Structure 1
């Protein structure tokens, strides 16, 4: 159970009497087409109870050919350059992703279906339908969405409330609320400052501590809440319930500039899995789209014929949520903040491999998980430990899990809520500071805790 909301004879503040729909009844998600970013937005939508009242729009970039080398450019500049190249070369050798619409929400909530995120059009809809439907909540995540989200705020400041997930690396006052992981502010630490050449220190963002409109999280927001896990447990019951226990799930991501690895780490992982296989009933291995072929090939050759091991080949329904629901323990590569955040919030043992290869803020993220006692390194392990981590386990010995069992809850690992609003939020539609404080604390309760799905 979540902490009791303050005030009110029935345990619910008066302002919650009408529920979330009494405040905000519709939302727009601005996505960039990448699951890691969009899942964070959809996770917040779920936490606010707006799953059936939102629309998803996307910021689309030109794709194919030379465009694959131009993703570092701002979206607007990229599109203009792509148009210029097409004018000169006639589009030879270039491919552009089709503008496919998302048939989600129709006209019933005043949110017209558009093919691509258009700041002016979304702001226009928010203004014209404000009297009938109230304020529009805009949630965006990812670098490509920053200009769109801030433009919507500029075009309709009295009719929208804009939330930007992940630090935008620009002025925060362009948004009503910014939700960022703590490690995004790693550059402010004295240790981090020493790692930055003094000539470029002024250019490393963020340069200032989090402001009043910033909410800090330990990890990434996600959709793996109580309801999602319960649904996944039911959907995957036939395939996963009968597997010999304990079930170990191995999630393998892909190397990044701040977490480099290759076949060497795959060999280390294979050796460690061989060491613990005797203590596992079943093992299921999943690769991501970022996993190098040489890594997946090595592991498939090593375990493809092992009777205890199943390797998902990417065909058919993605078992990820089913794995979260039914697994007894996880092994996850250190590069994936999203997968680690999901697994740690469920409350099952999580082993990390490759954390020593992470640098900069990602090393700080790994350190924060270890300090909370929710992960341990997957090295020199001879037997799986199936003890449940304890949230904020201060004093835990390095490399050990806490033994206290807690509960599954909808958690987004909020570390600190710093929210300051004026007397009015959306013109004549006024929302007090107390309401938003209660809303984000109550719905985004921090924890790295949980229990096995069979206890739900």
Structure 2
């Protein structure tokens, strides 16, 4: 049986994990802990957790979330600032309660209350609370690293930086549109700057350009990546290869893993793409030992239904029910090749971190910056379109995307420039 191929660990950028600048004659503050501010969306939070992991603080962080009211009319109000959305939700509830006899008025939601269902064990992000904690524990525990991701986290993270700049180092992941000096560092994919390119400007009416992100070119606060940050690295893959050995080692090779996301505003599709995928998979089955298909939380039922109906009874195909999230790590470690739908930057970035063949289906349906993302991957030789004519037994490779490790290196450098160091 052909052994599985895992990416080699990157060459050490820092001696023993840290460069000499962090070791010799250092007398500044040491960062030993982190706060992660998320929004409850896995793809977004995974980026922050991946960076924290790469910095060696996986076991030394606290997760906070910025939550919005959900259900009913709230699904139409997600474009409002979070604080305004919560107040409007409160007013709507009061009106409903006042028209119902025997009901008491609901308490006004505080900035630190009202978690989303299923997230009650996670702290609600409160800038004042985090600032107080950073200040009160500074002498004992050193500066606080704050890593935030997602649009709704921007106001919280920037407030923490503004009020407690001497006690915190704030990293904002994903582009915050403007005023980059609100943060110590911004980490964002290169394609987030696609709106500033001449080609993109041709697609946007002039009166709308000032509203399209970003408003300014990247400056010294910005670290540009190819794709999304994540928690996948060589150590994680090797651990997963061992943990899932009994499950995956008996499978006929080569193993093709198919990751299916869901349509987005800039990559629309439905059952038509599912049928195209089925046709292509049936064409390559002869060169596959086995195929494992996984759906995401965003996969429409009509897409999963068509694929399950057509391929569910094929002896070479296994459709994962998603019950054990850690199995996705097993897929990344043991797969010989991947097919990924073009809608997900996260799924594609994770697959490309393995250095194994990655085939993308549906990229021609993508528009705007998502199209630019896939174009950059093709130009790098990292992905190829999935056409159904591939021989999966014929492998090819490329330097694995190493965005998270590179971003972590930039954080080390930025801390050093401030006179701080990071020591887990």
Shorter-chain TM-score: what band?
Answer: 0.7 to 0.9
Q: Is the 8 A contact 1:32 1:144 kept in 2?
A: yes
Superposition deviation, residue 62 in structure 1: 1.1
**Matching of residue 324 in structure 1 with residue 332 in structure 2:** yes
Q: Distance in 1 between matches of 2:381 and 2:416?
A: 41
2:221 to 213, 216, 225: 213
Corresponding position of 2:240:
232
2:250 to 237, 242, 246: 242
Q: Indicate how the Cα distance of structure 1 residues 11 and 45 shifts in structure 2: closer, same or farther if over 3 A, else same.
A: closer
Q: TM-score, normalization: structure 2? A: 0.87
Q: Indicate how the Cα distance of structure 1 residues 202 and 72 shifts in structure 2: closer, same or farther if over 3 A, else same.
A: closer
Q: Distance in 1 between matches of 2:343 and 2:237?
A: 24
**Matching of residue 122 in structure 1 with residue 141 in structure 2:** no
Corresponding position of 1:166:
174
Corresponding position of 1:97:
116
Q: Distance in 1 between matches of 2:22 and 2:161?
A: 25
Q: Deviations over 1:29-50 (max 9, x none)?
A: 0010111010000000011001
1:38 to 18, 21, 45: 45
Superposition deviation, residue 98 in structure 1: 4.2
2:274 to 262, 266, 270: 266
Q: Which runs of 5+ in 2 are unaligned?
A: 1-8, 101-105, 107-113
Q: How do residues 105-120 of structure 1 correspond to structure 2 at under 5 angstroms?
A: 115-120=123-128
Q: Distance in 1 between matches of 2:17 and 2:316?
A: 51
Q: Which runs of 5+ in 1 are unaligned?
A: 104-114, 392-406, 440-456
Q: Deviations over 1:407-428 (max 9, x none)?
A: 7978556699699969973xxx
Corresponding position of 2:346:
338
Q: TM-score, normalization: structure 1? A: 0.81
Corresponding position of 1:448:
none
**Matching of residue 81 in structure 1 with residue 88 in structure 2:** yes
Corresponding position of 2:54:
47
Q: Deviations over 1:251-293 (max 9, x none)?
A: 0000011001111111110000000001100100001111111
Q: How do residues 185-200 of structure 1 correspond to structure 2 at under 5 angstroms?
A: 185-200=193-208
Q: Distance in 1 between matches of 2:165 and 2:19?
A: 30
The two structures, once aligned, show a CA RMSD in angstroms of 3.1
Q: Distance in 2 between matches of 1:120 and 1:356?
A: 46
Q: How do residues 18-37 of structure 1 correspond to structure 2 at under 5 angstroms?
A: 23-37=30-44
Q: How do residues 3-14 of structure 1 correspond to structure 2 at under 5 angstroms?
A: 3-5=11-13, 12-14=19-21
Q: Is the 8 A contact 2:115 2:124 kept in 1?
A: no
Q: Deviations over 1:120-166 (max 9, x none)?
A: 01001101111111100000000110111111112211100000000
Count of residue pairs brought into register by the alignment: 401
Higher relative contact order (CA 8 A, sep 6+): 2
Q: Indicate how the Cα distance of structure 1 residues 385 and 259 shifts in structure 2: closer, same or farther if over 3 A, else same.
A: farther
Where 1:90 maps in the other structure, the secondary structure is helix
Q: Is the 8 A contact 1:162 1:176 kept in 2?
A: yes
